[in-house]
Structure 1
Amino acid sequence: MTVVIDTSDDLTLDNVARVAWMGEQCRISDRALAAIRSRRDEFVEFVEQNADRHLYGITTKHHVGAKSVLGADSRAEFATRLPSTPATVGPRLPERLARTIVLARLADVLNGTACLRVETVHRLIELLDSNLPPVPARGNGEPGDIIALGHLLRTRFDGTLEIGEGMALINGSPVAAAALGDAALAGRHRITVMEQVMALAAVAINAPAAHYAPELEAAWRDEHQAEALHNIRRLMETDDHSSELPYQAPVSFRSGPRVIGWARRAQAAAEECAEIALSASSNNPIFVGPTVHPPLGAILSNGGYHNSLVAPTLDSLARSWADTCQLITAQVNRIVEDPGGLVATEPESQVSLLYMTSAGWAEEARVAATTSLIGLGGAGQTDTGTPDLLAWRKAHDAGAALDNNLAVLGVVSSHALARKGQAVPHRLAVLSRQILQRFPVGSAPVDYGAHLESVVDLLARSRDAAAAPASEFANT
């Protein structure tokens, strides 16, 4: 299928999932192309009438070159190329994130604040049908996204542009918007998996149903915690309560719905902020047309390159995922050490030793969940930097640690239940059975690594689909 983009409102997470994650094609509507062509004409007319003024990156060069207006020949030469940008090295961003950057770059064009020619817009869209240049994930210390955009766009566009297009392509914060969108999509189905696996763990520890009672939904006064409670309670629902503890389960099991509730709130905020960032203009400068600023429009220098929503929101996601990861390790330990747990039911310490692996992933998540503050730049005009790709990497690492730790908890819980011969509630039975198919009871230690990786893949399946509302072991 093809995603048709008509306005910046179409740069939604769902459309990003289709184009960037699932590889669907994308095109700009004829109506949007007509508006882009008209806005380009307005922009060129404005520049021609104001060629003697300081118009950043248009009649001047960039950075320190902004202080001098270019002559006609110098302006024409500068117009053909992308302004110079620094480079970095290291591991590249995933292809899906690079594709999201291309989509996010369209926001200013569709909003009429970045005035590309229609031919340039077509070439930008065509990037989505090609192997994108590698974009390093680390060492991005600039204000805005010029390092990443330079890596992504320079080889395709340098030397082929006309007045104003270089700055329209290279400045702004589309990489920040894309990074937040990518993390929000990665987290969408992670919540569902968290509830499913932690419900399975609660069954394995024989947690009383009272810990998840419906009365708590009103008592806690938070819609996200209420949803977590409701989902976990429904997953654990059974007619047989004979195995339940007559006393409280450990703290980590009682805290679970509240921590997942916070993760749900962080996820909802991330999706809201991502939708804003993906569709918003971010360029510096932006052009506003004659209908807004008669008679010819205006060029406005601004701070659009600094998307202040992105790094704090990514940090919040990383924190929620890392907190959950700590809770999971506590639950793994309790299920292993319980008098009826794995240590007591295995013939020797085997799968129960995965508590060590769980501890390792919890520490990985803890290290990732640090604050991403505004960076200090140079001594001149560029005196701060934006930490958005750094924050994305930390959120990515915290999320990956959580995914792996969820797999450990799923294996330990399923093995504990199987060793005890305890029935699994019907809404969790498919999940438990599939985990045991991938990591069977009695597996030889030489196979543990491959089996555990298979469980990680199982739990990640719905998340990586990005647009699928349910997994094969959905809450039915």
Structure 2
Amino acid sequence: MTLELSEPADVDLEAVRRVARAGEPVRLAPAALAAIGRRRAEFVAFVEAHAGDHLYGITTKHDVAARTVLDDAARAEFGRLLPPTPPSPSTLGPALPERVTRAAVLARLTDILHGTAAIRAETAARLTTLLDGPLPAVPEGGNGDPGDVVALGRLLRPAFQGTLEVGEGMALINGSPMASGVLADAVLSGRDRIARLEQVLALAAVAACLPDMHVDAQLGVLWGDPHQERVLARYRELLAGGTWPRRAYQAPVSFRSAPRVLGGVLRTLAHAQDAATTTLRAASNNPVFVGPDLRPPLGAVLSNGGYHNPLVSPTLGALAHAWADLAQLVTAQLNRLTDPPDGIAAHETEPRTSLFPMTASGWAEQARAAAAPGLVGLGRSGQTDTSTPDVLAWRRATDAGAALDALLGLLAVTATHLVTRRGDTPPPALAGLRDAVLECYPLDTPPLDVAEALDAVLAHLAAR
């Protein structure tokens, strides 16, 4: 299918999923293209009437060169090009996943649909056609500038350099669509992670002989948090039926706390989803063109801070913290399901029983390191005196999530082996997970085959 865009509200998380993850192409609706053409004509009329004014990146160059108004010839020459940007250091790290750069291109279209990026209709259509094929690689390292000009320069320069007209270069390269893209990507990854979190933690609860009182519905009422209440209800669904020994006394803290911690993660993810929806639909240009319908008689060009998206880095930091927090809890559960007298060590011999806790400690520390806080960075002297480390924040959230995913695989195997060794009958909602894990990682898997078996478990969980 092809995603057709008519207005800024069409650029949402579902659109990102379709375009960035499912690979769907994008087209602008005929009415949208017509509106883009009208706004471009209004913009050109405004620029012609204010050719002697300081219009950032339009009648002037950018950064400190904004002090000088260009003459007609220099303005036309500058308008043909994307403004020069610092080189992105391709030797200092891998490229961003293409799903992220596709999300950024989609988010760039929001400004065009707002009419604040007053480019020509043919330029807008060419921007959508970038999504028809592979995008240029954008190195992950070195993207900390205010806005996304380094990344966008690498992404858009091959297709647009030398083909533009006045004002289009700044409209394409300035703003925060990469920030919107990385936040949307992290939210989609987080939403996908929740289902496997619920199932693996519920299976671990069976392995820990969790008593029913720990997920009683009355707890949700007493805690007063709809997210925690939802997790408790999901636990009860997943744990319904089956046969396993319930403890006559309370389970270890990591198992009793798990519904509350996961409920807190759901709250964080809900906030992140709201922030992503807001940023995807917001205009982020600098400058923005406001049409004559709002600023008669000819409109206005407003220089602003739209390139700095204050929701992205803090929200990604909160997600990194949430995943890292869960990683510590999962590690604690794994250790409890390993240790004698009740753990897998009572049923399996070394080195099988020590491999997972040893590995888990490394993943837990990687998650902890990824949860380091991020702040608005110090830039350089002159115009660029602060930075916006949104891509770095995305990397931290991604690393914390990857560490948690690895730990979930370890916990799934340990819990599966323990309930199987004991001869328990898992609840119907968890039987499929137990069977799939056993198929990927059978009992008595030789230690030298652990890596391949665990990779199969992780692939199965990622597909859920």
Q: TM-score range by the shorter chain?
A: over 0.9
Residue matched to 1:64: 64
2:271 to 261, 269, 272: 269
Show CA shifts across 1:297-340 (max 9, x none).
Answer: 00000000000000000001110000000000000000001413
Residue matched to 1:2: 2
> SS of the counterpart of 1:378?
coil
Matched, 1:192 2:190: no
Residue matched to 2:207: 204
- The letter for the 2-side match of 1:137 is E
Structure 2 unpaired stretches of 5+: none
Residue matched to 2:431: 429
Aligned equivalents of 2:203, 2:388: Cα separation in 1: 41
Residue matched to 1:128: 131
Distance change (3 Å), C-alpha of 1:334 and 1:30: same
2:184 to 169, 178, 181: 181
Name which of structure 1's ranges 79-88 and 350-359 shifts more when overlaid on structure 2. 350-359
- The letter for the 2-side match of 1:53 is D
- Normalised to the residue count of structure 1, the TM-score between the two structures is 0.95
Mapped contact 1:82–1:157 kept (Cα < 8 A)? yes
Aligned equivalents of 1:415, 1:325: Cα separation in 2: 20
How far did 1:207 drift?
1.1
Mapped contact 2:242–2:428 kept (Cα < 8 A)? no
- The letter for the 2-side match of 1:301 is S
Q: 1:401-412 residue pairs with structure 2 within 5 A?
A: 401-412=403-414
> SS of the counterpart of 2:15?
helix
> SS of the counterpart of 1:231?
helix
Show CA shifts across 1:64-96 (max 9, x none).
Answer: 110010000100100000001112222110010
Show CA shifts across 1:354-401 (max 9, x none).
Answer: 111111111110000111100001111211000100100000000100
Aligned equivalents of 2:24, 2:73: Cα separation in 1: 43
State the number of aligned residues. 461
Residue matched to 2:107: 104
Distance change (3 Å), C-alpha of 1:349 and 1:419: farther
Matched, 1:221 2:204: no
Aligned equivalents of 2:405, 2:283: Cα separation in 1: 34
> SS of the counterpart of 1:260?
helix
Residue matched to 1:379: 381
Mapped contact 1:342–1:352 kept (Cα < 8 A)? no
How far did 1:289 drift?
0.3
- The letter for the 1-side match of 2:130 is L
Mapped contact 2:337–2:343 kept (Cα < 8 A)? yes
Q: 1:22-421 residue pairs with structure 2 within 5 A?
A: 22-89=22-89, 90-238=93-241, 240=243, 243-421=245-423
When the two chains are superposed, the root-mean-square deviation of aligned CA atoms in Å is 1.0
- The letter for the 2-side match of 1:157 is F
Aligned equivalents of 2:212, 2:355: Cα separation in 1: 28
How far did 1:407 drift?
0.6
Residue matched to 1:471: none
- Normalised to the residue count of structure 2, the TM-score between the two structures is 0.98
Aligned equivalents of 1:44, 1:325: Cα separation in 2: 54
Mapped contact 1:352–1:412 kept (Cα < 8 A)? no
Mapped contact 1:340–1:420 kept (Cα < 8 A)? no
Mapped contact 1:43–1:115 kept (Cα < 8 A)? yes
Mapped contact 1:377–1:383 kept (Cα < 8 A)? yes
Distance change (3 Å), C-alpha of 1:227 and 1:338: farther
Aligned equivalents of 2:256, 2:304: Cα separation in 1: 48
> SS of the counterpart of 1:189?
helix
How far did 1:444 drift?
1.1
Mapped contact 1:188–1:267 kept (Cα < 8 A)? yes
Residue matched to 1:468: none
Mapped contact 2:291–2:298 kept (Cα < 8 A)? yes
Show CA shifts across 1:112-144 (max 9, x none).
Answer: 000111111111111101211110112112111
> SS of the counterpart of 2:458?
helix
How far did 1:424 drift?
0.7
> SS of the counterpart of 2:117?
coil
How far did 1:240 drift?
4.2
Aligned equivalents of 1:4, 1:239: Cα separation in 2: 48
Aligned equivalents of 1:136, 1:21: Cα separation in 2: 19
Runs of 4+ with >6 A deviation: none
Aligned equivalents of 1:420, 1:253: Cα separation in 2: 19
